[in-house]
Each structure stands twice: as C-alpha cells, then as structure tokens.
Structure 1
Amino acid sequence: MHTIAVLALEQVIPFDLSTPLEVFARVRLPDGRRPYQVRVCGPTAQIPAAGFAITTAWGLEALADADTVIVPGRAEGAPPPSEEVLQALRVAAARGTRIASICVGAFDLALTGLLDGLAATTHWVAAPDLARRFPKVEVRPDVLYVDNGQLLTSAGASAGLDLCLHMIRRDFGSAVAADAARLAVTPLEREGGQAQFIVHPQPPVPQGSTLEPVLAWMEEHLGEELTLDLLAQRSSMSGRTFSRRFREQTGTTPLQWLLRARVRRAQYLLENTDHTIDRIADQAGFGSPTAFRERFKKVAGTTPQSYRSTFRSSEHA
C-alpha cells in the first residue's frame, strides 16, 4: 500500500486539495486492489479555508511515514507555513519521500530550500514572483509539470491532475494510469499544444517490472537499430510473448516506447548541445533527419528546431 499524505494548510485552495484525494483514491490495479491510501494531514485538527474548515485526521508526523506528500496551493495572502511545517517536509525529503506541489504550492515547497538548484514550475501568473523570491530555483513557466525524481511541481490546477496521473504512471505503469485518466474523464497525456512542454526524465515503467533489465538496455542503445526480434532475444522470450508482456507492464508497444524514449533523448540534446539536427537524428536512433523531424513533431507537437529555440539552455544560447 502506497500512502499519499495531502498537506492541508491555512487558506488551502479546495480544488488543489480535492484533486489528489479524488484521483489517487479511485486507482485500481488489474486485480482490483486499491494501491493508494490517501490521508489529509495538517499542523492542527481544524484548518481554516475559504468559507469552511477542513478536519485533518492526521498530524504532521504522518508526513514522515508517507510514500508521497502532496503540497496543494493556497490562496493569495495566506500566511507562510510555520517552521514546524517546513521542517516536517525537510525530514520527509531526507527519508526519501516523494514530494509534489500543485500550482502555487511550489512557493511553500521552495521555502524549505528543497527546490534550490532544481527546475520547477507553478501557475504562469505566479511564475515571475517565484523566480524573483527564489533565485536558486530554475523556474519554467511554460511547462505543465516538472519531474526531478523525488521532487515534482505542477503548473495550474488542471496541471495538478496531469501530475497526479504522471505519478500513477511512474508507480504502476501506463495501463493503470490510463484507467485512472478515464475515470477522471481526462486524457492521460495532452496531445498537441503544450504536450511538448511536459518534462519527462525517462519513459515511465512500473516499479518492479520484470522488463526493467531490457528497458534499461534499450535506453542505453537508443542510437542503434533495435528490432522486435532483438529485444525479444535479449529478454529470452518469443516475439509474441515479449510484445504481450511489454504491453501488459508498460501500457504500450515496444516500438512506441522506443519512439518516445528517442524523442526524450532528442529533447535533451536539443536543449543542452550544439549538435546539428542531422547528428541528433543519428544519436537518438531515428535513422535519417527526415524521419527524425516527422516523428519528433508527431510526439512533441513541434519541430526540433522550434523546440530548440524555445528550450535551449542559456549555456548554449
């Protein structure tokens, strides 16, 4: 059972609080089990909000026992969190707890110092203020969410839903996350528009997947020609068995997984190197610049050159 602790503080935004409660509580595994237990935690038993009060069944000590802590946004003018709250978040982080913020909850998370030196996002209206107040944080105002591994942040309220689904996909794979998305009546990942702005550090796979060794090998050999027969052979399976288990455990086909992994590799190279488009096409395993441009646009929603213009790091600008 994976415990989700949702932190309720004074003047919490109701939608930001209810989103993780609703999404995680509905998740079902293929065998029908509920993998998440959701708890509302706070520094006091009653948390004042806009026009009503929230009763918390758990105190701050529950943060230390949680697998994931959610920090929702709070209304403008809300008092800063107490040092007790900030320290509870730091202690949880030191234990390896995953911590995610929704919308302007990034401000409270930034106050702990945990986001220093990392990329983060928040609602686009508040992004300039976040950058001004926390200069050690690399604020990315145009993305839906940023996943740094242990620490995650999301943009506006709807992006908080995107982030919750992303975490479900990280924990249990795309098939389980897709089912959660259907229950929430939302796409698992937005197509077009801002789809190219979502930051994915690696293709999502369920924890403990029996395919982890071959997935890691695929990541290391993206620039090579990888056929279904070769991948099945690496897994000591027949092609049919490998394809079936791959879809069961990742929610997609081996070739689609490779395509998205290669696009992610290309995104990194476009952002952080001066390599030509032709060279990146080869390094990411697309075979030809033409195939690279077509497939990159299909997945990322924009051309490689446009992506580079938008996200090129200052070091390489």
Structure 2
Amino acid sequence: MSRPLVALVLYPRFSPFHVSVPYAIFDSMLPDNPLFELNIVSPGGRPQQAKRAMTIAPDGGLELLDRADIVVVPGWHDLSEPPEPALAEALVRAHTRGAHVVGLCYGAYALAYAGLLDGRKAATHWMAEQDFGRRFPSAALDTNALYVEDDRLITSAGTGAGLDCCLYIVRAYYGTRIANRVARIMVVPPHREGGQAQFIEQPVALSTQDAHINRLLDYLRENLARPHGIDELAARTAMSRRTFTRHFHKATGMTFGEWLVNERLQRSLELLENHSFSVEKVAEMVGFHTATSFRQHFRQRYQVSPRAWRKTFGEVER
C-alpha cells in the first residue's frame, strides 16, 4: 500500500518534547523502508517558535491537511485560546473526509474547540481534567485512559502516553509486528493498552532492575505454553513464595498472574496476525488452558474476538 501521509501541526510556543514524540515515530524508518510520509504544517506555512530557543520551518500550510491520512496536534500552547478559525476548519474538513485526527496531551483542546469531540470519548492530561470538563461538557472525558479513539478521533494523556498513542496508530496501520519493531528501535515497551490507568507504578517493560526477575522473565517468555506455578517459580529464583511475590510486583508493577496473561495475549496478537493457526491452536501455543478461556481474556482486553482481530490486522486470512 502507499505510505500514509501524516501532517504534524505546529502551534505558537509549541513544546519541543510534544512535537518530537510524533516526529520520532512517524519519521522512523525500518531498515527496508519508511512507514509514513511526514509533513510539518503550520497556519499560513509560517515558521513557529518553541517556548525557548527553537524555531521550525514547516513544509507548508494548512492545505497539506486536505490530503493527510493522519493529522496530529501535539499539545497546545494556551488552554484558554481556541485555534485560529482556519486551523479549526481544516481539522474538521480532514475528519469529515475520513482522516484520523489526533490530539496528543493538551492537543485534545484544539480538537474540542473545533467541535470535533462533542458527544465523543476523549482523553487528556490528568492535570487539565477539571478545566477540560468545564470548557467542553459535551465531550465524554475518560479521566483514566492513556488514550482513546472514537470515530477516527484519537486523544491521549500526557507525554509518555503520547508515545503509546503514536505506537497504537502504527499498529492500526501496520499491525503488531511492525509496531513492535518501531518500539524496539525507540527502545521503549511495545504497547500499553489505551484503557490502562494513567497512574501506574511502572510500564510493562522487557526488563527490570532486578537481575533475578529479568532472567525469570526471559525463561517465561520462552515457555509461555507451559503451566507455571508461583511455588515453582519462587524455587527457581531461590526465594520464598512471599519474597518472590513481593519482588515480582516491585520489579514489574504487576502480579505474576496479571503479567503472564498480558504476555500470553501479546504473543497471541503476533500469532493471529502473522500465521494461519486456528484460534484453538493459538490458545494452546500461548498457554491458555482452553480456547474458551483465551477468547474470554482476549475479549476482555481488546473488546473484540480473536477472529475479528485477525480479520482486521491479519496478514493471513483463514
């Protein structure tokens, strides 16, 4: 397929960090080819200055939004200031013709001022929740989400959640395998669910600061199909059950059961998308006792069935 065109919208006194997150993701290049075509946009095609010591010259003006597949507003400079009418109208036009329109962190304000979030789910940084709710009572603000999508309108919580949100978009266009490759290049965890709470002890990481737990995680990832008991794993790490449970939660931010289900579901996505194994076989390969248990966990996490996921993201149709 042709590369999706991403329009990254600059605004006055922009935040360099918030701009750099989508820039890094959508300008990333795998060894074989670039994934997206990225344009930097500003009203009138004018250079925009950051809060301090940085000016960016855009690729063009708002006319570039009229052909973009994905429009990203990475933050917003003043919560009490609506976008200029030309930008608000361009955002509405982009959404009307079928583009994804994204507001990262306070970028949700630009979408809300344009009326795009009326009657739709939205997320923003927790520090602005009360203000956002007061200004835009017609939006259905999810005060707990990292990011949400409603009718091709995607909004996220702050900073790190913006990275999760951008990887979610990569996955929506290219599937889990490519999104994971991009995450590895960025040296970040491959995926956090949008419904995950903004406040967590630690994101799910490939490794922790506990060497014993790291070795155990490697072992578990290589043996997901096997049953695993806490007593067995505690013995494997030369810890008591109580000590193991405490160390595991401190290292991963999750109970062992939560972590194991999460890893099994992540592995199932790769199998569903890239292979033609039956759902029953996938359930067996990732360690669920029955296909029914797998389907229940899968639907609870992703709100769709494994078969529906494969139909949407799979490279191999059954």
TM-score (norm 1): 0.62
Asked if 2 retains the 8 angstrom alpha-carbon contact of 1:3 and 1:36, the reply is yes
Structure with the bigger RCO (C-alpha within 8 Å, sep 6+) is 1
Asked if 1 retains the 8 angstrom alpha-carbon contact of 2:76 and 2:109, the reply is no
Specify the alignment match of 1:178 in structure 2: 180
Matched, 1:54 2:56: yes
1:34, CA displacement in angstroms?
1.2
Gaps of 5+ in 1: 199-245, 260-284, 301-317
- RMSD between aligned residues: 3.2
> Residues of 1 paired with 2:36 and 2:189: CA distance?
21
Q: 3-state DSSP class of the match of 1:125?
A: helix
Specify the alignment match of 1:238 in structure 2: none
* Cα distance, 1:247–1:296 mapped onto 2, change above 3 Å: closer
1:48, CA displacement in angstroms?
2.4
* Cα distance, 1:89–1:176 mapped onto 2, change above 3 Å: same
Q: 3-state DSSP class of the match of 1:126?
A: helix
> Residues of 1 paired with 2:19 and 2:26: CA distance?
12
Specify the alignment match of 1:206 in structure 2: none
* Cα distance, 1:128–1:60 mapped onto 2, change above 3 Å: same
Q: 3-state DSSP class of the match of 2:25?
A: helix
Amino acid in structure 1 at the alignment position of 2:43 = P
> Residues of 2 paired with 1:91 and 1:165: CA distance?
25
Residue 124 of structure 2: which of 122, 141, 144 is its match? 122
Specify the alignment match of 1:37 in structure 2: 37
1:78, CA displacement in angstroms?
7.2
* Cα distance, 1:286–1:141 mapped onto 2, change above 3 Å: farther
Specify the alignment match of 1:18 in structure 2: 20
* Cα distance, 1:251–1:18 mapped onto 2, change above 3 Å: farther
Amino acid in structure 1 at the alignment position of 2:189 = P
Gaps of 5+ in 2: 199-268, 284-289, 302-318
1:11, CA displacement in angstroms?
1.7
Cα deviation 1:158-180 (Å, max 9, x = unaligned):
11110110011010110000000
* 1:72-151 paired onto structure 2 within 5 Å: 72-76=74-78, 79-151=81-153
1:247, CA displacement in angstroms?
4.6
Specify the alignment match of 2:273 in structure 1: 250
* Cα distance, 1:247–1:108 mapped onto 2, change above 3 Å: closer
Q: 3-state DSSP class of the match of 1:188?
A: coil
1:74, CA displacement in angstroms?
2.2
Amino acid in structure 1 at the alignment position of 2:11 = L
TM-score (norm 2): 0.62
1:190, CA displacement in angstroms?
3.2
Cα deviation 1:158-210 (Å, max 9, x = unaligned):
1111011001101011000000011111111238xx86459xxxxxxxxxxxx
Q: 3-state DSSP class of the match of 2:155?
A: strand
Cα deviation 1:51-104 (Å, max 9, x = unaligned):
232211210000011110001112346743111110111111111111111000
* Cα distance, 1:117–1:255 mapped onto 2, change above 3 Å: same
Amino acid in structure 1 at the alignment position of 2:169 = M
> Residues of 2 paired with 1:176 and 1:68: CA distance?
18
* Cα distance, 1:97–1:190 mapped onto 2, change above 3 Å: closer
Residue 67 of structure 2: which of 65, 68, 81 is its match? 65
Q: 3-state DSSP class of the match of 1:152?
A: strand
Asked if 2 retains the 8 angstrom alpha-carbon contact of 1:97 and 1:150, the reply is yes
> Residues of 2 paired with 1:138 and 1:257: CA distance?
39
Cα deviation 1:262-302 (Å, max 9, x = unaligned):
xxxxxxxxxxxxxxxxxxxxxxx974xxx58xx749x85xx
* Cα distance, 1:135–1:195 mapped onto 2, change above 3 Å: closer
Identity of aligned pairs, percent?
Answer: 33
Amino acid in structure 2 at the alignment position of 1:18 = S
* Cα distance, 1:134–1:37 mapped onto 2, change above 3 Å: same
* Cα distance, 1:35–1:130 mapped onto 2, change above 3 Å: same
Cα deviation 1:85-126 (Å, max 9, x = unaligned):
101111111111111110000011101111111110000111
